[in-house]
Amino acid sequence: IETKLPAVGTTIFTVMSALAVEHNAVNLGQGFPDFNCDPALVQAVTDAMQQGLNQYPPMPGIPALREAVATKIKALHAREYSANTEITITAGATQGIITAILAVVRPGDEVIVLEPCYDSYVPNIELAGGTVVRVPLTPHTFRPDFDKIAAAITPKTRAILINSPHNPSATIWSREDMLQLQELLAPTEVLLISDEVYEHMVFDGRQHESAARYPGLAARAFIVSSFGKTFHVTGWKVGTVVAPAPLMAEFRKVHQFNVFTVNTPVQHGLAKYLADPTPYLELPAFYQRKRDLFREGLKQTKFKLLPSEGSYFQCVDISEVSELSESDFCQWLTKEIGVAAIPLSAFYGNGFDQRVVRFCFAKKDETLQAALARLAKL
């Protein structure tokens, strides 16, 4: 059959996780925690199931969860979103992103992505009939180059996708970056899709600069987040999209026909759990400690450490360790050393290789220590 997505194979995360299992490697590749979530969250979901909350919820999500999300955004970013018309619960950020794209991107529209970027963005744009316009972040520092972004904007540009904290580089956008983007987009009609799934993982006292904090961005933005990341439940696949009412109305037209609704008891459990902000307020310290433990260990190797400002990723430059390409190196590291990692080239359309690979440190301390013991041979 004639394929709609000729360039798409199995995702790098699936490939590397399978290889890790096959070779009994410590899996620091695919990004997911290897520890359990708070038992109180499981209890809240279980309670909802036992109370019989097991049928279809309202299409945009249960009101209590949308209210809890509105309250959280107001407290953190001083912006009011209407739970009724501006917040939708999604089946993870992945569904939020494709739904936003399908809702606004028309055939022939251009959509700007900043590479390296998460692997679903490009196929999502292609499925919508859009034209992908790739703008590189600066190699190695992964900073946005606003001259390059400005040069990529044309009358056909429908949207730009950004992601901070950033997967895979673990950089975050500063206030200056957000202000520059706001200024750049001000004279345009370009929409913004802001992937903020790692919003609660920012380190060293930094602040997450949500698009919600910038009126000129918020007015044109779909802001995407994921409870999977925030509460250590990636397998539950629940997230949120918030956007101004006219954008959200378009979003919901697609949402109701590609998923319709999202898991009822999980929504009730999350609504109850969100009443206490402590778990997400403690997340930066929780992950910063793991980051530091992992970085200390890596300092004993010949890897060159890149900064990890946010997310649960740590990138390293491999040039002192190996001559192999990033991709071959990750295969070799998994098979021969017993630690799985992800090559950054997988996040570029042209496979650009800058000798950098990504580790995920959302792991038990003993998992990180086991990986470090193996990496110490390098």
Within 23-169, residue ranges assigned H as helices are: 39-50, 63-77, 92-104, 121-127, 146-152
Q: Are 216 and 182 in contact (CB under 8 A)?
A: yes
> Minimum distance from CB of 13 to ligand GLN (Å)?
3
Packing angle, helices 264-273 and 39-50, rounded to 10: 130
Question: Smaller CB distance to ligand GLN: residue 27 or 182?
Answer: 27
Residue from 163, 167, 240, 334 binding ligand GLN (CB under 6 A) = 167
Window contacting ligand PMP (CB under 6 A); options: 41-49, 89-97, 255-263, 347-355: 89-97
Gap between the Cα atoms of 99 and 241, Å rounded = 10
Gap between the Cα atoms of 74 and 69, Å rounded = 9
Question: Smaller CB distance to ligand PMP: residue 6 or 235?
Answer: 235
Question: Smaller CB distance to ligand GLN: residue 68 or 117?
Answer: 117
234 lines the binding site for ligand PMP (CB under 6 A): yes
**Site residue total, ligand GLN (CB under 6 A):** 5
Residue from 29, 31, 60, 269 binding ligand PMP (CB under 6 A) = 31
Question: Smaller CB distance to ligand PMP: residue 62 or 372?
Answer: 62
Choose the contact partner of 88 out of ligand PMP, ligand GLN, none; CB within 5 to 8 A by kind: none
18 lines the binding site for ligand GLN (CB under 6 A): no
Question: Smaller CB distance to ligand GLN: residue 11 or 327?
Answer: 11
Choose the contact partner of 261 out of ligand PMP, ligand GLN, none; CB within 5 to 8 A by kind: none
Choose the contact partner of 92 out of ligand PMP, ligand GLN, none; CB within 5 to 8 A by kind: ligand PMP
Buried b / exposed e across 339-361, counting CB within 10 Å, b at 16+? bbbbbbbbbbeeeebbbbbbbbb
Within the chain, strands assigned E span: 26-27, 87-90, 110-115, 131-136, 157-163, 191-195, 221-226, 239-242, 304-305, 313-317, 339-340, 342-343, 356-360
> Minimum distance from CB of 11 to ligand GLN (Å)?
5
Binders of ligand PMP among residues 184 to 203 (CB under 6 A) are 195, 197
Gap between the Cα atoms of 291 and 198, Å rounded = 14
Residue from 25, 27, 31, 232 binding ligand GLN (CB under 6 A) = 31
Write the CB contacts of 267 (distance below 8 Å, at least 6 apart in sequence).
57, 61, 62, 64, 65, 89, 238
> Minimum distance from CB of 273 to ligand PMP (Å)?
16
Q: Are 5 and 123 in contact (CB under 8 A)?
A: yes
225 lines the binding site for ligand GLN (CB under 6 A): no
Burial of 78 (0-12, 13-18, 19+ CB in 10 A): exposed
Whose CA is closest to 125, among 160, 165, 168?
160
> Minimum distance from CB of 16 to ligand PMP (Å)?
13
* Contacting positions for ligand GLN (CB under 6 A): 11, 13, 30-31, 167
* Contacting positions for ligand PMP (CB under 6 A): 31, 92-94, 118, 163, 167, 195, 197, 226, 228, 234, 237, 239
